[in-house]
A and B are shown apart, each in its own frame.
Chain A
C-alpha cells in the first residue's frame, strides 16, 4: 500500500463528532489529503412506510440536517488543511459504507463504536458488521465518554501492534508503514496462551518462549526496514485481556491488529481476539483485514 491519502468518515452524528474528526488531522503527516464524510439514511427509516411508500419529507429533512452539519465540518477540515466533501445516500448502512469506500478509493474507514455493544454475547450493529465484512482497514474509535488516551496524545504517538507471529503479520505492518510519518513509538506484542505451555516442561516452555522471541525479533527487524521504530514485548495470558492490559500499562494511544472477519457460529465458538479487543478497548483500534 502507498501513502494514506483518503479516509472515509461515515457518521450518524451520534458516535462520531467533529472532535473525533479533528483528532485525525495528525494523519496529514502520513500523507492524508482528503476526508470523505458520509451519512447513510437508513432505508428502513425513510422507506417502506407501511402502505405508504417512501417518506420523502423525512428523507429531505434528514438530508438537510446532515448537509448543514457537514458544511461546518468541511469548513473546519479546510482550516486544518484537508480537502473534504460529503455524500448522503439512502441504503442499508453497512453495505453502503463499504460500497462508498470502494467507489471513492478510501484507504481507511473511521467509525465510532456504539456504547451498548460492550456487553453483548455476539456484538452486532453497523460498526461490528463492518469489521466482519470489510476489505479495507478500519479505525474504530471508542465512545468519547470512555476514551482513556493520554491527554493531547496524537493518535499514533504510541502504537501497540498485537502480532500473531504468523504470515499474516506482514499486512498490518505494511499498513502501518504507510502511516510511518505519524507513528511515534511502536510496540510489537505477542501474547502466549497459557494452554499452549501448560502441558510443557520448564525446558520446553523456555524453548517455546525463545522461539517466539526470535520470531518477534525478526518481525521487529522487518518493521525497521519499513521505517517503523519497533520494540518487542512477549506476554502470557488470555490474549485479548492481556493486549488491553498491556496497552493500559504502556499508555498506548492506539492498538493495531489483523482480522480475519470471523462471524456467526465460528466467532461464537472459536472467538475472535480482534473483535474482543475492538469491543472493549478504551483507545482507538485499527483492524487490518488479512484476506482479499
Chain B
C-alpha cells in the first residue's frame, strides 16, 4: 500500500473515532505507564543540554531532533490507542498549540514593527526607569514582545559602559520573566491557563507577588548598577539633541486590538463548532483569526525599513514554533497521567506535592530548566488531578480558583517567575542573550548566570515570597 493510501486509511479510521474518544481521556490517562513520559523528558533535556554541548549541531538540526521526539510519542500512541490518541493529538493542536503560536506570532510581528531610537543616558536611574517600563509593558505585549522592543535601546543607552552583563541579566529577570505575570498575554504559561479556563483578569491576583519580588530585584539592580556606574572611567556621550523617538507607533493600536481580542474570547459565548471531532468555541476561532489579521496589518502598514532597523528576524519565532509543535505532542501522555490523579502512573507526583509552597518550588525549579509553558500545564494538571480527578477541566479550574486559589497562584508564580533562573527557562531569555552577545556584551556562561546572579538575587527573593504568600 502506498504511503498516501496508508495515510488516508489512517485518517478515515481515526476521525470518526476522534469524536467518540472525546470522553475517554481519564481512562486513557489511567492506562498509561511512565515510559510514555520519556520523549517529553527527552525533548526538554535536548533543549536544555544541546545548546551547551553542541550549539552548532543543535542550531542546524534542532527541528529534526524535535520531530524525532514528537514522533516517538505520536506514532506508538496512535498505533496502540487509535481514535482516543488521535483525538488527543488533534485536540492539543487545535485547542493549545495553534492559539499559542498565533498569539506569540502576532505579538512578535506587532512589537517588532515598533522602533525605539534616540539617546538614553545609561545612568542607574534611567536604567531602572527603562526596566520598569519594560516590566509593566511585558504584561500587555508579552515578555517576548517587550524584550524585543526594548533590549536594543537598552543596550545602546549603555554602550559606553564597561560593565554591562548585570544589566542584561536583570533585563532577563524583569522584562523577560517577572513582567509577564499580570495578564494571560504576558507569558505563555498564563495564556495556556487562559485557554484551559482561567479567567482573563484572574492573573491580576499575582500583582502582590510580582510587587514584592519586583521591588527586591529593582532595589538590588539599582544598588549594583550604581556601584558599577561610580567605577566607570568613561563619561556618557553627549545627547547631541537626539530625542527619544518611536517609529511605527500606530502598532500600539494593533496591540490594543490583540488585548481586546483575547479578552473578548474569554467573555463572549458564540457557541461551538466541531472540527475533526474537537469542540472549539467560535469566539476562540474568531480571536485567532483577528490576531492573524492584526499581525498582517502590522506587517503591511509598517515600512520594512522600520523592522530592518529594529534588526527584526523571523528566526526566533520560527524556532519556537518548530520546537513547541513537538513539545505539545510529547506532553500529551504526561498531562493525561497527571490528570488521572491517584489512578494514574504519576500518582506519586500528585500525592507528593502537597502545599502551595511545594507547588511554587516544584513548578519553579522545573520551569528554570525546562521551559515554563509545558511545566505550568503539567503542574496545573497535577493540581486538578489531586483535587478534582475526573471533573471536566474548565469546571475543575473554576473550582480550584474558588476553593484553592493559592495553589493556582503558586503554580502560576512559580512557572512565570522562575523562568528567569536560567537561560533556558523562557524563550525570550535566549533571544536577549543572543542580541546582547552580538552587541559585544560578555554574558555569563550558563552556570555563571545561575551561580553569580540567580542564586544571589532570585532565590532569596523567591524564598521571601514563599514565606509571605505560600
Which residues does A use to contact B, with CB under 8 Å?
Answer: 43-58, 90-92, 95
| A51-B423 in contact given A56-B437, A90-B438, A92-B308 (Cβ < 8 Å) | yes
A256–B309 alpha-carbon span in the complex (Å): 30
CA distance A2 to B320 in the complex (A): 50
18 contacts between A and B (CB under 8 A): A43-B311, A43-B313, A44-B314, A48-B434, A49-B55, A49-B430, A50-B51, A50-B319, A50-B320, A51-B47, A52-B55, A52-B423, A52-B434, A53-B443, A54-B433, A54-B434, A92-B308, A92-B311
A50 touches B430 (CB 8 A): yes
Q: Do A51 and B438 touch (CB < 8 A)?
A: no
Residue of A nearest to B300 (CB): A264
- Inter-chain contact B319/A91, CB cutoff 8 Å: no
Q: Decide yes or no: A50 and B434 within 8 Å by CB, A92-B308, A92-B311, A92-B313 being known contacts.
A: no
Check A54–B313 contact: CB distance below 8 A: no
**Other A-B pairs, 5, CB within 8 Å; known A48-B315, A51-B48, A53-B437:** A47-B435, A50-B59, A50-B320, A51-B429, A52-B51
Give the complex CA separation of A45 and B314 in angstroms: 12
Contacts of A51 in B (CB 8 A): 47-48, 51, 371, 423-424, 427, 429-430
CB distance from A128 to the nearest CB of B (A): 14
Query: Is the pair B313, A49 in contact by a Cβ cutoff of 8 Å?
Result: no
A100–chain B nearest beta-carbon distance, Å: 14
**For the complex, what is the distance from the CA of A48 to the CA of B317, rounded to whole Å?**
10
User: Are B56 and A53 closer than 8 Å at their CB atoms?
Assistant: no
B56 touches A91 (CB 8 A): no
- Where chain B touches its partner, the secondary structure class is helix
B433 contacts across to A, CB distance below 8 A: 53-54
Which residues of chain A are within 8 angstroms of B154 by Cβ–Cβ distance?
A: none
Q: A53 and B51 in contact (CB under 8 A), knowing A58-B56, A90-B438?
A: yes
Q: Is the CB of B56 within 8 A of A57?
A: yes
Flag whether B323 is at the interface (Cβ < 8 A). Answer: yes
Residues of chain A lying within 8 A (CB to CB) of residue B58:
49-50, 52
CB neighbours (8 Å) of B423 from chain A are 51-53
Q: How many residues of B contact A (CB 8 A)?
A: 33
Which residues of chain A come closer than 8 Å to B429, judged between CB atoms?
A: 51
Question: Once the chains bind, are A48 and B55 in contact (CB under 8 Å)?
Answer: no
Complex CA–CA separation, A52 to B57 (angstroms): 12
| Cβ-based interface call for B257 (8 A) | no
Identify A50's interface contact among B47, B314, B435, CB under 8 A: B47
Chain B positions within 8 Å of A58 at CB level = 55-56, 59
CB-based contact B430/A53 at 8 Å: yes
Question: How many Å lie between the Cα of A48 and that of B60 in the bound state?
Answer: 11
In the assembled complex, the CB of A191 is this many whole angstroms from the nearest CB of chain B, namely 32
Residues of B within 8 A of A91 (CB): 311
Contact with B59, one of A55, A56, A92 (Cβ below 8 angstroms): A55
| B431 within 8 A of partner (CB) | yes
- Residues of chain A with a CB closer than 8 A to B451's CB: none
Chain A contacts of B315 at CB under 8 A? 43-44, 47-48
Query: Does B62 count as interface, using CB distance less than 8 angstroms?
Result: yes
Bound form: Cα–Cα A49–B443 in Å: 15
State which of A45, A54, A92 has its C-beta within 8 Å of the C-beta of B437.
A54
A50 to B322 Cα, complex, angstroms = 10
Given the complex, which residues of B lie within 8 Å of A48, measured CB to CB? Answer: 313, 315-316, 319, 430-431, 434
Min CB distance B354 to A, Å, is 31
Contact B55 A55 (CB under 8 A): yes
Chain A residues with Cβ under 8 A from B438's Cβ?
Answer: 43, 46-47, 54, 90
Please, how many angstroms separate the alpha-carbon atoms of A57 and B53 in the complex?
12
Contact assessment for A52 and B430 in the assembled complex, using a CB-CB cutoff below 8 Å? yes
Q: Find out whether the CB atom of B437 lies under 8 angstroms from the CB atom of A52.
A: no
Beta-carbon contact of B62 and A50 below 8 Å: yes
Q: How far is the CB of B59 from chain A (nearest CB, A)?
A: 5
Question: Nearest Cβ distance between residue B392 and chain A, in whole angstroms?
Answer: 34
Which of chain B's residues have a CB closer than 8 A to the CB of A56?
437
Judged by a CB distance under 8 angstroms, whether B52 is at the interface is yes
